[in-house]
Amino acid sequence: MAQQHLEPTDPSAGSGPPAPPGTVPGRGTTTDVAVHTRTAPATAPAAPATAPAAPATAVAACDAEVLARYLRAQATEFLRALRQHRESGTGPNGTPGPHRAAPPPGHGDAALALRRAARRISGTLHTFQSLLDTDWAEGMRPELAWLSGTLAMEHAYASRLERLLDALHRLSGPAAAAPRAVADRTTATAPTTVPPPAPAAPSASPAPAPRVAAQDRGNLTVGAAKAGALLDRQLTLARTRAHSSALQALGSSRFHAVADKVALLASEVPLRPAAAPADLRPLAAAAHDRLTDAVAALPLVAAGSPYNAQALVHGLSPDPAPHPQDAPWDQVRLLLRLHRYAVEVLAATPAGNTGEAASNGESADPSDVLLLTAGDALNRHRDASEAAAAAAQAARTPRIAPATAYALGVLHADQRHEVEAARYAFQHCWRGTPVRPA
């Protein structure tokens, strides 16, 4: 009999809503999970937010209890998002399930919250692994990374297609851009079977519909219209496969095992016996040092010159592998994320409170703003790099018309220029006010 994972702080944890339709053969429903009858105590109130660069006297309780409280909060958020995802009856990225009405407002973000909590738990385990049970942490990290990556693929393909189609219209001039805006407003009011998922940024906003209207392509040149149709076919197929993979993942025993471990983490953090008096700040400083070392290896001097064309080097290479110069920047993006999560642990502030404070008129920590701004620049770098690779892959399609290949080449160059612009924005942000935890 299928069971359910319930949030430890949910007052209705005993009954739970009925399981939604939409099953995976041999696996039950796509969001079936095992019930934990034990309930965890409510998450302890978070300590006041503290700037990463504050003196040691301002962060008096940076011990293992702070780490345990943060992990319990993230595990609770994971289970809460899982419950909302199940109640809404949506697909892996907020897509309504079969025979289900549109989910209530906010339920479309359940998959985003699920991925966000999984990333934070995994990143925290990586940074503070020496304070945790080694076998448990090493077993949890790859499973959480697998879950977050699998759920993110469908949204990545949808946003990549939208990015490329928007670029095609922008490059085609105002004659094509104006009807494109009208078509977007028209499709935004019509019901769709695939509503757009929220992006991965903390301040998420709904993405436009990933499909382009047929009459909209008539405003493009022949080459651009054929290029858009080719990209639409390829990326929609990839998105469909990613959707199927996510559904299978949510119905697999592997996911059930991950959810079981997260449910236990919400009530008990497996710390080492000698971890109680340990100070978290040296481990957070080590994460910052790894980040600064990786940034030091980047060509920031060249990136500081606008229109340096460094991102276009090897643009005509026949190698279908990812652009080699993008790998160090992507590594910095991952290290920056780990550093940001370490700062959140030191501040003992649940994820998202900084943005809520800013929306309420409170002054946000300048270091948090710096980290978020730098992270946004590197996210744009990744998106543009992947979009350029998709355009190059489409241009390698056999027997396409010369006009189509030319449009894809222009599109590829445009996205590589976006890569260059993201690098410029990052170096400008990073050289402004470097942040180091106390």
Q: In 212-364, where does DSSP find H-type helix?
A: 214-217, 222-250, 253-265, 281-296, 300-303, 327-347, 353-359
Q: How far is the C-alpha of 164 from the C-alpha of 77, rounded, in Å?
A: 34
DSSP 305: S
User: Given this model, what pLDDT does residue 10 score?
Assistant: 46
DSSP 90: B
Q: How far is the C-alpha of 436 from the C-alpha of 91, rounded, in Å?
A: 40
Q: In 44-99, where does DSSP find H-type helix?
A: 64-88
User: pTM surpassing 0.75?
Assistant: no
User: Given this model, what pLDDT does residue 311 score?
Assistant: 76
Alpha-carbon distance values, 52 to 59, 131, 283, 342, 366 (Å): 9, 20, 13, 9, 10
254 contacts 403 by C-beta, under 8 angstroms: no
111 contacts 90 by C-beta, under 8 angstroms: yes
62 contacts 280 by C-beta, under 8 angstroms: yes
> Using CA of residue 342, residue 347, residue 348, residue 353, what is the dihedral sign?
negative
Q: Which two tokens stand for residue 324?
A: 């080699």
Task: Kindly list the averaged pLDDT for each block of 10 residues, start to end, along the chain of length 438.
Answer: 44 42 40 37 37 37 83 95 81 50 53 93 94 92 95 95 96 62 41 39 40 51 93 97 94 94 93 81 95 93 77 72 85 96 80 40 61 94 95 94 95 94 92 54
Q: How far is the C-alpha of 280 from the C-alpha of 185, rounded, in Å?
A: 50
Residues 214, 93, 227, CA angle at the centre, nearest 5°? 30
User: Given this model, what pLDDT does residue 403 score?
Assistant: 95
Select from 21, 155, 171, 9 the least CA-distant residue to 88: 21
User: Given this model, what pLDDT does residue 16 score?
Assistant: 41
User: Given this model, what pLDDT does residue 400 score?
Assistant: 95
